[in-house]
Amino acid sequence: MPAMDRIVLVGASAAGLTAADALRREGYTGSLTLVGDELWAPYDRPPLSKQVLAGAWEPERTVLRQEDGIRGLHLDLRLGCRATGLDPAARTVTLADGDRLRYDGLLLATGLRPRRLPFGHDLAGVHVLRTLDDALTLRTQLCAGPRVVVIGAGFLGSEIAATARGLGLDVALVDTEPTPLARQVGTWVGGLVADLHRDHGVRLHLGRGVTGVTGEHGRVTAVDLDDGTRLPADVVVVAIGSVPAVDWLAGSGLPLGDGVRCDSHCRAAPGVYAAGDVANWPDPATGGRVRLEQRMNATEQSRAAVRNLLAEPGDAVPYTPVPFGWTDQYDAKIQFHGRCPAEARVECVDGDPRDRRFVALYHLGGRVVGALGWNSARALRQYRAHIGTTGAVTAGQGVGPA
């Protein structure tokens, strides 16, 4: 193990806390500082748009590790403390309170910040959802029984719409794409997700852009679409994607561009590594670069980055994951391994989409690049091994697009 007395982790969510745990498990006994800009102890984000927003979970249930577990990591835990600058030459991280943390090794796990519309966010009732505080504020407003408009039908927006509808609210879901989840899993599965929302009473406005957000007396009253439709709204949730939280790294000299650009070992500079939503690294599967906004990647990549940070020269191992993600909406649990690009050919190989229980494979360039299961976790595991293979796959009923 290289000589390291001080390691700093910036970002106190899943990736940062997992890295702290991995460092101790790998035998690191030196100083360990974990910096997070929220006041909450490290918590899990996937429940925010579902269990927390629905009121089924209180905040404490999202905590990733109890106080005893945190103490066991022997951390210098800096919560409510924002990193504002990095000097790789001096090996220091500057904090908003003026403190400077010296490091021998640094892991960047600052995650994302939500995109916003160019208008409307000055109105009460217009929300984004990224943090636990965001979820709790939105939950309070949903309790008043408002008319809800969700802008953006990706994973987050679709989950918020499903949760709000599950609370019995009037919900409209808007997206410029022809189906929900079109960018994430393609339009065929996206069409099934659209049917699911319609069956539960959500009003879909797909292939439509938002041209304005109207308000009266400082509070939102409506959302205007590019076809002239005006959607009455008491609450608007903007879920149009996120961008990596790298603003504080401007001027640091680190390679930036859709995140922190790393090599295949998650290394961005000598002694500096990145993991989770903010990391951008070479993808051997596509020959390009990839950045994954997936919960499992946050933990897997942070462990890989820690192993490479501690590795002797020449012993680092490339990070080559098979991505895994999921979304829960109503009674549907949709899980996927690999990639599910919109341009892929989709083949149903197990079950029947009409029963909303099936497995589909995604084919691109003569290879299987992804596998998706809808309420079919056990069957999906059997098809994961087909990712990267060529040739025919023995199908079940074969119901689905050609």
Q: What is the pTM of this model?
A: 0.95
* pLDDT (0 to 100) of residue 399: 41
Q: Are residues 79 and 122 in the same domain?
A: no
pLDDT value at position 87?
98
Q: What pLDDT is stored for residue 390 in this prediction?
A: 85
Domain count, the chain: 3
What is the mean pLDDT for each group of 10 consecutive residues in the chain (402 residues)?
A: 88 98 97 98 97 98 96 97 97 97 98 98 98 98 98 98 98 98 97 98 98 98 98 98 97 96 97 98 89 96 98 94 96 97 96 96 95 97 92 52 44
pLDDT of residue 285: 77
**Domain-embedded: residue 398:** no
- pLDDT confidence of residue 287: 86
pLDDT at 221: 98
Judge if 212 and 152 occupy the same domain.
Answer: yes
pLDDT the model gives residue 286: 81
pLDDT score recorded for residue 398: 40
Domain boundary among 240, 258, 273: 240
Span 122-150, pLDDT tens digits: 999 999 999 999 999 999 999 999 999 99
Inside any domain, residue 400: no
Q: Residue 292 belongs to a domain with what CATH number?
A: 3.50.50.60
- The whole-angstrom separation of Cα 334 and Cα 380 is 10
Which of 240, 271, 292 represents a domain boundary (last residue)?
240
